[in-house]
Amino acid sequence: MRELMRYARNPVVVLVSVLLLALPALFSMTGQPFYANMLFLSLMYGVAALAWNLMQGYTGMFSLGHAAFFGVGAYTVMVAMLYYNVSPWIGIWLAGVMAAVVGFLLGFPLLRLRSHWFTLATIAVGEIFKLAFAHWSYVGAARGLQAPIVGPSKALYYMQFTGPFVYVYVALLVLLVELVVLYRVVNSRTGYYLQTIREDEIVAKTLGIDTFRYRMLSLVISSFFTGLAGALYAVRFHYVDPFAVFDLITISTYIAVAGIIGGIYSFIGPLVGAFIFVPAAEYVRVKIVSAFPRVFGLHVVVVGVILLLISLFLPEGVMGYLKRKGYIKTG
Amino acid sequence: MVETLLRVENVTKRFGGLVALDNVSLEVLRGERLGLIGPNGAGKTTLFNVISGIYKPEKGRIVFKDVDITGWPPHKITRLGIARTFQIVRPLSNLTVLDNVVVGALLREPDIGRAREKALEVLETVGLYEKRNMLAKDLNLVEKKRLEVARALATRPELLLLDEVAAGLRPREVDELVETLMELSRKGITMIMVEHVMRAVMNFAERIVVLHFGRKIAEGTPKEVANNPQVIEAYLGPQD
């Protein structure tokens, strides 16, 4: 906790926090919902990318299947609300728990695999979830689930607000919880153990580390917070469908790309990466892709180009680069 | 009455058709310094891998502190008190030298602050204190060998398996290392040293076991072993 306080005294951190808190209000006043939405998406992907990086950066498990946890989180909010009348304020946290349970169960087959075999299996898992949900009538099959529009008296209970601004603050709240938890995890014995596993699993074992247990812990915590990110998606858009929330490119890959751009050997890197990549991708989607409606898949090309540039000029990510150049010491 | 700390009983380990360990038995007393020698491919490292749980033997038992640990996973064996170094060094490359040792210390001391203090003590013992803030990958080979020892020591083992820690060292460095290990031995840590550097093992070990093609061919004091005709033949070929 003392470490966390020291972090809180860092002027850059304070400045960024204040800006984040003030921005939605600013956008709201100047009538720029496009940018407020961009902010929301950056936060949502940031939450997921930080969670993803507990596995990638700290434990050395490269997942391209985080859409499974994201999607389960999104669906949990909707199912809880539509079928059990649970407010999304509670549904968000249920989403984390449900995603964590899914992560735990998937861990038994997945954790038998390592390196690229692990990655391939995570891709398969994401795709299997997409297809399974697309054929599961309880969750609306391919049509997905839509929240009904409620009157003003119930808007707070069902988390239905006009425009993106309130959702930005909800995302900030989730992010804050995540930062506190993850910061404590990575600076504890668990954090040391995860990094030891990343560096050399055999050595980890001979130092007394139950590597299966700690890899499982990494997966469960990661899927919990990725589920929260998916829940943010559901409350923001009031609508989930399998092809959106389980998408290999715009969910699984975007999360990984945000993490890689920001720097996987950095605590805060994936969040920074999300704030660089998501606005860029959004800008491309809204301003450029819509200008060329007949060029199918243009946004994927743009993502590819951004990744190519990063791997050429900033292979260690933005935060890694800043650290190497000595502009920042920790983070 | 001296207690038997480790008993290897009739252990056989095969890799396909190759018999790496053929019915090997040996005992180590608490506090003892045992040398384990033999030509390349004799099965020394395989024996370490079997004792530390990396490999499971096809036949035989490993008994440590009167507990049958045959087939146990490595982390449980370490927790019971056996630590090892690796012949081909395996530093946690992207962690600092200090953090490499902290990870070991965390086994018995979950508090990071106290684990760090403990790790600094160990680094002092092996002479790496000055390098504590370097990344482990930036150490030279001699230092990486020392780091192997430090990391293993930090788990506070009762039995330490040293796999060729003197390889590649200059004679003076070998003597320094042996001195360090003797000091640890005086503190009560039991050690098995696999070594090709005779200067190290002859000065260090109280007793030596010789393996050849996976079989134990001799056992005795360093002097006895050095004069054993079978050992000489194993190393140099048949003598007339």
> What percentage of chain A exceeds 90 in pLDDT?
64
- State the Cα–Cα distance between residues A165 and A155, nearest whole angstrom: 14
Residue B75 to residue A202, Cβ atoms within 8 A: no
Alpha carbon distance, N-terminus to C-terminus of chain B: 44
- State the Cα–Cα distance between residues A166 and A159, nearest whole angstrom: 9
Side-by-side strand order, sheet with B82-84: B82-84, B159-163, B190-194, B33-37, B207-212, B215-220
- State the Cα–Cα distance between residues A44 and A228, nearest whole angstrom: 9
Instruction: Output the six-digit token pair for A39.
Output: 């902010």
Task: State residue A16's pLDDT score.
Answer: 73
Residues of A with CB below 8 A from B83's CB? 206-207
Residue B107 to residue A207, Cβ atoms within 8 A: yes
Task: State residue A49's pLDDT score.
Answer: 98
pLDDT tens digits for A179-198? 999 999 999 999 999 999 99
Mean pLDDT along residues A107-119: 96
Establish if B73 touches chain A: CB-CB under 8 angstroms: yes
Question: Per-residue pLDDT for B26 more than 80?
Answer: yes
Ramachandran angles phi, psi of A156, nearest 5°:
-65, -45
User: What is the sign, positive or negative, of the torsion defined by CA atoms of A209, A214, A215, A218?
Assistant: negative
Question: Per-residue pLDDT for A3 more than 70?
Answer: no
Task: State residue B151's pLDDT score.
Answer: 96
Residue among B86, B92, B152 minimizing CB distance to A199:
B92
Question: Per-residue pLDDT for B240 more than 80?
Answer: no
Pairing, β B207-212 against β B33-37 = parallel
Establish if B54 touches chain A: CB-CB under 8 angstroms: yes
Complex-level ipTM beyond the 0.85 threshold: yes
Average predicted confidence (pLDDT) for chain B: 92
Question: Per-residue pLDDT for A1 more than 60?
Answer: no
Residue B75 to residue A199, Cβ atoms within 8 A: no
The larger pLDDT score, comparing residue A31 to residue A123, is at A123
Residues of B with CB below 8 A from A193's CB? 103, 106
Question: Per-residue pLDDT for A19 more than 90?
Answer: no
Residue A15 to residues A8, A12, A23, A75, B191, Cα–Cα distance (Å): 10, 5, 12, 35, 56
Instruction: Output the six-digit token pair for B224.
Output: 């006895």
Mean pLDDT along residues A27-53: 88
Instruction: Output the six-digit token pair for A305.
Output: 């180009």
Report the SS3 class of residue A69: helix
**Domain ranges within chain A, ordered by starting residue:** 2-248
Establish if B133 touches chain A: CB-CB under 8 angstroms: no
Average predicted confidence (pLDDT) for chain A: 90
> What percentage of chain B exceeds 70 in pLDDT?
99
The larger pLDDT score, comparing residue A27 to residue A73, is at A73
Residue A10 binned pLDDT confidence (cut-offs 50, 70, 90): low
Altogether, the residues listed in chain B come to a count of 240
B209: part of which helix (H) or strand (E)?
strand B207-212
Residue B93 binned pLDDT confidence (cut-offs 50, 70, 90): very high
Cα of A209 vs its chain's centroid, Å: 28
Name A44's Cβ contacts closer than 8 Å, sequence gap at least 6: A171, A229, A232, A233, A236
Task: State residue A189's pLDDT score.
Answer: 95
Q: Which residues of A touch B (CB under 8 A)?
A: 187-189, 192-193, 195-196, 199-200, 202-211, 265
Question: Per-residue pLDDT for B1 more than 70?
Answer: no
Helices (H), A187-241: 189-199, 201-206, 211-237
Contact present, A229 and A73 (Cβ < 8 Å) = yes
Radius of gyration of chain A (CA): 19
pLDDT tens digits for A191-236? 999 999 999 999 999 999 999 999 999 999 999 999 999 999 999 9
* A-B C-beta contacts closer than 8 Å: 68
The larger pLDDT score, comparing residue A328 to residue B222, is at B222
Question: Per-residue pLDDT for A162 more than 90?
Answer: no
pLDDT tens digits for A269-319? 999 999 999 998 888 888 777 777 777 777 778 778 888 888 888 888 988
Q: How many CA atoms lie within 13 A of B136 on its CB side?
A: 25
Report the SS3 class of residue A114: coil
Residue B78 to residue A265, Cβ atoms within 8 A: no
